[in-house]
């Protein structure tokens, strides 16, 4: 009878059961594949495990969130202690660190887009909430190197980190780094040369920096990432962020395809 059911015999459900089992197996395999894909996309093992706590929005995961930050080193400068003579002493100490680091290349736009809590603006660090302090700590104190162009350089006046010293040797150099040559300061990153570091670099002068700016030479700035909460009113006007490279520890200028230290440029 070719396996066909005879009249009065019970109908066979084997083909239907086989089809149902196949459908269930396919659905299960699809579920497993999707779960594995989600796990792979969210796993930190796709690259070096250098992050702690995720990445800031808008950076594409490019900022290196180090698990451990180098401990700052300080030394008195011409009688002025690292904490300065007033103001936010914790901030002053960060500005006056003198240690070198293993600088990590970070794209300009990543630094310029780093977030910060607006509740930290114009407030001493001692008054920050624990959540705000933790947010800033994720990024601050990272040794970074950023490439760009100089928009301008200016010598500042007496300030609390430098014990309000009136002499040239006690003044910071305020420098604007831009992503493109000839760009204005609207979206710039402020980078600052400090007296304790400048003391070891006699060729670091505003004259040399302004010449580099006029010549539109590409530069590479290495130093310590720091949040300066004192200038939120300048964002979108003369800077793009209150994150700074402060202090600057190295400056290199691109000449004929090579990076030349500013110290060696006459």
CA 113 to chain centre: 9
pTM of the model: 0.78
Q: Return per-residue pLDDT of the chain as tens, 266 residues.
A: 444 554 555 555 667 777 777 777 777 766 666 655 444 333 333 232 333 333 444 444 589 999 899 999 999 999 999 999 999 999 999 999 999 999 999 999 999 999 999 999 999 999 999 999 999 999 999 999 999 999 999 999 999 999 999 999 999 999 999 999 999 999 999 999 999 999 999 999 999 999 999 999 999 999 999 999 999 999 999 999 999 999 999 999 999 999 999 999 97
CB 153 within 8 A of CB 188: no
End-to-end CA distance of the chain: 104
Strands 143-155 and 104-105: parallel
The CATH superfamily of 89-264 is Nucleic acid-binding proteins (2.40.50.140)
Residue 39 CB partners (closer than 8 Å, separation 6+): none
Rg (CA), the chain: 29
The ranges assigned to domains in the chain are: 12-42, 89-264
How far lies 149's CA from each of 23, 95, 179, in Å? 61, 22, 6
């Amino acid at each position: 009878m070719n396996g066909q059911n005879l009249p009065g015999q019970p109908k066979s459900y084997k083909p239907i059961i086989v089809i149902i089992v196949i459908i269930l197996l396919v659905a299960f395999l699809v579920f497993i594949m999707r779960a594995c894909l989600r796990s792979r996309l969210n796993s930190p093992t796709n690259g070096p495990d250098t992050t702690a706590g995720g990445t800031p929005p808008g950076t594409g995961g490019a900022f290196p969130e180090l698990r451990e930050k180098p401990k700052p080193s300080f030394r008195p400068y011409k009688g002025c202690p690292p904490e300065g003579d007033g103001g936010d002493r914790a901030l002053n100490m960060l500005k006056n660190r003198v240690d070198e680091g293993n600088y990590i290349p970070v794209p300009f736009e990543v630094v310029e887009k780093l977030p910060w809590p607006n509740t930290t603006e114009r407030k001493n660090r001692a008054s920050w909430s624990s959540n705000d302090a933790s947010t800033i700590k994720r990024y601050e104190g990272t040794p970074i190197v950023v490439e760009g162009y100089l928009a301008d350089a200016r010598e500042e006046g007496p300030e609390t980190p430098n014990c309000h010293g009136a002499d040239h040797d006690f003044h910071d150099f305020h420098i604007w780094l831009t992503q493109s040559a000839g760009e204005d300061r609207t979206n710039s990153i402020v980078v600052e040369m400090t007296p304790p570091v400048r003391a070891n670099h006699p060729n670091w002068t505003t004259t040399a920096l302004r010449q580099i700016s006029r010549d539109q030479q590409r530069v590479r700035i290495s130093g310590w990432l720091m949040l300066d909460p004192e200038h939120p009113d300048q964002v979108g006007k003369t800077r793009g962020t209150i994150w700074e490279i402060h202090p600057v520890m190295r400056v290199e200028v691109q000449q004929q395809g090579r990076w030349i230290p500013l110290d060696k440029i006459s």
